Amino acid sequence: MFGKKRVAVIGAGMTLFRRNLKETGKELAWEASNMALDQAGLELKDIESVVMGTAPDAFDGVHMKGEYLADGAGAWRKPYSRVFVGGGTGVFAIDAGWWHIASGQFDTCMVVAEEKMSSCYPHPAYAFTTIFDPIYSRPLGVTLIWIFALEMHRYMHVHGIKKEDIARVSVKNKRNALDHPCAQLGANITIEDVLNSEVMCWPVQRLDISPTSDGGAALILASEDVAKKITDNPVWIDGVGWCIDTTFWTNRDLYYPKYVQGAAQMAYKMAGIKNPPKEIDVAEVYDPFDYKELHHMEGLMLARKGQAPKLTAEGVTQRDGDLPINPSGGLLGVGNPIAAAGLMKCCEIFWQLRGEAGKRQVKGDPRTGLAQAWGDLMQYGSVVVMRS
């Protein structure tokens, strides 16, 4: 066993994901975390520590929003920390929650994530232009979508992947999201719809991209002793991993996410996983763009390099396939309130492993699940492996 205590997930909660929600960020954090507590059958006084995951301050428009959100996250007079690794934050937050308990310091930890992107005008993408190096990059007018388009194009070029091979991911995830009660963009669309959608930054088209969203999500973690007293059905965190690659993103070959591989190797080693595609029953892979699901499946070694599109075309990644990917509907379907979207993926794996995902439940009896997120300047991977 890694750490002093084995760590379980015992409750999950989330809000609707929408383009504009009336609630403030604090209120969203409270709604999600209060639901997670209810589901775990605990009260705030039972929580010993809190981890908050939330992405750039520039979205909510509240500088130092870790402290701003603290009361909504239930952190009043408790050990509290905010973690932040860009888009990787949601999954990194559960990793951080794990070490709070595994260290032996706490028996319970509430992990909360929130994003309120709708505050930012003219568009949250504008706030993102400030993440780039002010000297090398910004004078060129660089915007976030450029760098993803450059990565997607390189990935397509190296493996000879066609756009329709990638569009299948968007079709699948938006359809899966029709069964998610919180989803912002569940829809029945076709490959042609994706291929005919507006070209934004070739090869990225409108329907290749997840939306901007408001939302919150939360999980309750507990040590083995506490979890076994509360529930007969805990989900164990058996692997955590995180890894960052160089910030000089133009200096590496964008066709393969080595940072995701690094994070996965760390988590697999901890979980004793030797053959990921065989041993993992269901995965929530970070999909802010459709190509990223494929790219990340390869980084996670769930598919060989360049083979993820083939698995997708064969239906392997559908809910009733052998390796269901993003049964929730992912970011493309459920929505993308950055950190909350990553934690939503952890919630989904929790529900799937408990057999409580309702219409979204994958076939068989999944015992091992994985959630992954990706962030910073296309350079960060965070992974969690859970088992029921």
Partner 1 sequence: MAIEKITDTRQMLHWPGHMETDYIYTLGIACEKFFIEIKENGRILGAKCKHCNYVFVPPKLYCEKCFAKLAEWVDLGIQGVVHTFTVAHIDINGTELKDPEIYALIKFNGAEGGLVHKLGEVRPSQVRIGMKVEAVFKPQPNRKGNINDIKYFKPRE
Partner 2 sequence: MSEKIKHFPGESLKGRDIREGRVPTIKHRPNVKYLWSAGVAMSRFLEGLKKGKIVGSSCKKCQRIMVPPRAFCEECFRPVDGYTNVKDTGTINTYSVSYVAGDASRIKEPILVAVIDLDGASKGMGILHLLGEIDDWKTIKFGMKVKAVWKLPEERTGTITDIKYFKPME
Query: Per CB under 8 A, which of residues 27..46 are in contact with partner 2?
Result: 28, 31, 35, 39
Number of C-beta neighbours around residue 89 at 10 A: 30
Interaction of residue 202 with partner 1, rule CB under 8 A: no
Among the listed residues 118, 170, 312, 317, the single contact to partner 2 using CB under 8 A: 118
Of the pair 35, 152, the CB lying nearest partner 1 is at: 35
Considering the complex, state which of residue 119 and residue 197 has its C-beta at the smaller distance from partner 1.
Answer: 119
Q: Which of partner 2, partner 1, none has residue 254 at its interface (CB below 5 to 8 Å by kind)?
A: partner 2
Contact in structure between 17 and 184 (CB atoms under 8 Å): yes
Q: Nearest to residue 257, comparing CAs of 344, 384, 383?
A: 383
Q: What is the Cα–Cα distance from 237 to 9, expressed in whole angstroms?
A: 7
66 vs 25: CA distance, rounded Å: 11
Binding-site member from 145, 189, 191, 244 for partner 2 (CB under 8 A): 145
72 binds partner 1 (CB under 8 A): yes
Least distance between partner 1 and beta carbon 32 (Å): 12
Instruction: Please give the Cα distance from 40 to 227 (Å, whole number).
Output: 9
Name the binder of 153 from partner 2, partner 1, none, CB < 5-8 A by kind.
partner 2
* HSE-up (13 A, CA, CB side) for residue 262: 13
| Interface region with partner 1, contact rule CB under 8 A, candidates 40-48, 202-210, 227-235, 317-325 | 40-48
Q: Give the C-alpha separation, 17 to 327, whole Å.
A: 16
Which residue in this structure is represented by tokens 């890694």?
2
| Minimum CB–partner distance for residue 87 and partner 2 (Å) | 17
Tokens 């929130």 sit at which residue?
114
Q: Is 134 in the site for partner 1 (CB under 8 A)?
A: yes
- Give the single-character DSSP code of 321: S
Contact residues: partner 1, CB under 8 A: 20-24, 26-27, 30, 33-34, 37, 43-45, 58, 61, 71-72, 74, 76, 118-122, 126-127, 130, 134-135, 138-139
